[in-house]
Amino acid sequence: MRIAIGSDHAGFVLKDELRVELLKWGHTVLDMGCAGTDAADYPDYAHLVAAALLDGRADRGLLVCSTGIGISMAANRHHGIRCALCHNCDSAYRARTHNDANVIAFGARYTTFLDARAMLQVFLGTHFSGEERHRRRIDHIESCAG
């Protein structure tokens, strides 16, 4: 799977640890930045990851900032992006099965590497359920998107 990843300075370390893990798992990683811990604006990297999914360069996305809130909000401004800020494996599972999320976000201040790795594994290994009630809700989200 091709995974586009991005973070701001606060999420850089966790993003980079997860980048290494994704490569170990055999995925192709498109690292959209940032490249270190110098101050960086999270919307820039959310937009780059969203663009990679929307133009077909990536199948899924991963975003990290200090809380995960801002970067997920920025990603969700893009029609066709459904970014889920996840806090545990159940939320990662439901983000895929119920919401067909194509991007997962983490808050580096609140998420350990081990927890993020476990959630990412669930997120990447879980398929959308395809149930009519979930499709209907996703269609409604998409119909209201900018």
**Per the structure block, which two tokens stand in for 78?**
């893009």
Residues serving a catalytic function are 65, 98
**Per the structure block, which two tokens stand in for 95?**
């983000």
* pTM, to two decimals: 0.96
Q: Where are the beta strands (DSSP E) in 1-146?
A: 2-7, 28-31, 60-65, 83-85, 103-107
Residue 11 · residue 44 · CB < 8 Å: no
Q: Report pLDDT for 145.
A: 54
Query: What is the side-by-side order of every strand in the sheet holding 103-107?
Result: 28-31, 2-7, 60-65, 103-107, 83-85
Q: What is the pLDDT of residues 29-66, one digit of tens each?
A: 999 999 999 999 999 999 999 999 999 999 999 999 99
Tokens 């992006």 -> residue: 81
Query: 83: cis peptide before it, omega within 30°?
Result: no
Residue 47 · residue 74 · CB < 8 Å: yes
Could you say which architecture CATH assigns to the domain 2-144? 3-Layer(aba) Sandwich (3.40)
- The list of the chain residues with pLDDT below 70 reads 145-146
